[in-house]
Amino acid sequence: MTLAARHLTCKRDHRLVLDNVSFTIGDGVLACLLGPNGAGKTTLLRAVLGLEKVEGKVLLNGEDLSVLSPRETARRIAYVPQTHSVAFAYTVEDMVAMGRLSHARFGLLAGQGDQEAVAEALHLMNIAHLAGRAYAQLSGGEQQAVLIARALAQGGRTLLLDEPASALDFGQQKRLWTRLRELVGAGYTILCTTHDPLKARQIFDEALLMRRGRLTDIGSASDVLTDGKIEALYAS
């Protein structure tokens, strides 16, 4: 899926949070979004999902997402938050099944298609063996894998991840990036926010740099994530 934004502008209290943001991320690409705190990264992800009131358009394979209902959008594009806590003792399988809510009829998730989608998502993230475990009792890396599986179960081929590796140790991060690269190889388009530009050079295909609500650069990670551009991006 090709994900594109065209002239996204968002204002809060007469302040520009997103300032005429445009980009295109091609099919089967792993891209990162970098910038200092307050640059507008999370707001941009939310705008793409239709969760922020903005001017401009978001296109998925040329389809304008603004004309779709939230339910229809959720079937095309999924979001993985940076942190997630649950108040009930949901199992891993329960958590992943929540990704099928946009497909539910009358609030029911009993169809064969739902069961197959959940099983496939667990398989893709290599966590089928955790299906009966309590989500709250898992490690941080395992919980992150469950949240990505939930996003995969929604059925779309485009994923937005907000700081997916921020709470993971080195081994967990390595497994996460390996799994995301496998998903991209299977045809998914993925955009992640990150605060680690040096590691991003090695992991991502493309990079978007953001500062004060504007994209300052976009292109291949090797071209964009140079020492000079990174220093300028994070300069006070």
Residues 146-181: pLDDT tens digits?
A: 999 999 999 999 999 999 988 888 898 899 999 999
What pLDDT score was predicted for residue 109?
56
pLDDT tens sequence across 174-215: 999 999 999 999 999 999 999 888 889 999 999 999 999 999
What pLDDT score was predicted for residue 31?
98
What pLDDT score was predicted for residue 83?
66
H or E stretch including 204? none
**CB neighbours (10 Å) of residue 85?**
7
Region(s) of the chain under CATH 3.40.50.300 = 1-76+157-236
End-to-end CA distance of the chain: 36
**CB neighbour class for 69 (10 Å; exposed up to 12, middle 13-18, buried from 19):** exposed
Q: Is the CB of residue 77 less than 8 Å from the CB of residue 156?
A: yes
What pLDDT score was predicted for residue 107?
52
User: Looking at domain 1-76+157-236, which CATH architecture does it have?
Assistant: 3-Layer(aba) Sandwich (3.40)
What pLDDT score was predicted for residue 104?
73
Q: pTM here?
A: 0.91
Pairing of strands 206-211, 214-220: antiparallel
pLDDT tens sequence across 73-132: 999 999 998 766 776 889 999 999 999 988 876 455 557 788 899 999 999 999 999 999
Q: Is the CB of residue 144 less than 8 Å from the CB of residue 164?
A: yes
